[in-house]
A and B are shown apart, each in its own frame.
Chain A
């Protein structure tokens, strides 16, 4: 079943949205957005759209390996397995800017597996989106609890 990009991001962002709405209703609007260094859900949707050109994004074909709890948000190990992908992008939904890296794979790139280390300002969902060989898009996501935030927060 195809999950459209919109519903896939909504499913992923539900946790963030519920928390934000709770804060807004309890306090004035200005205090609710005082925290800074956080990505509103509209911005992450726009960032993913910029990568996919607005195409539908399905789930299930790519994987992400990341710790459930990151002690230090400055160095969070992450690996992505995207067999058959041409391009890959990593996003976070609660960082100062959503996009973290984009990978372009050449013919000799074997399994399209890549590992790196990222900065996370606070607990958030890391979302990876891959453009597959046939031009379709796949996504996977992981929620990472961050104990001490990175990004100079």
Chain B
């Protein structure tokens, strides 16, 4: 597991049924692109090690599925919208090149 990788999600705690909410997600990750020259190894680059996939699901149904390439900035940030039909739980998952999987979850109440 890469060190110091921490996901954060910002979204409302409640909404009316059918409301569109904005979700902001970020995960602290250096996103080593694989393009940076290796200072200790002339002619080669520091190997790639990035978050390559991010998904958000609501009550088990996929809302957004992102395939990230090395040209996404460090601490990958995604802001997107979701329509909330009922109370439930959003789960967010980040997949690391090194095999680690990071998750976060937020519940939302439909009032």
A residues in contact (CB < 8 Å) with B: 37, 74-76, 79, 92, 95-97, 99-111, 113-120, 150-153
A110 and B69 form a contact (CB under 8 A): no
B63 partner residues in chain A, CB cutoff 8 A: 105-106, 108-109
B70 partner residues in chain A, CB cutoff 8 A: 96-97, 119, 151
Bitwise interface map of B from 74 to 94 toward A, beta carbon under 8 Å scored 1, else 0: 101111111111000000000
B72 and A101 form a contact (CB under 8 A): yes
B62 partner residues in chain A, CB cutoff 8 A: 104, 106
The interface residues of chain B, by DSSP majority, are classed as strand
Number of A-B contacts (CB under 8 A): 102
User: A120: nearest residue on chain B (CB-CB)?
Assistant: B71
B74 partner residues in chain A, CB cutoff 8 A: 74-75
B residues in contact (CB < 8 Å) with A: 20, 33, 35-37, 45, 58, 61-74, 76-85
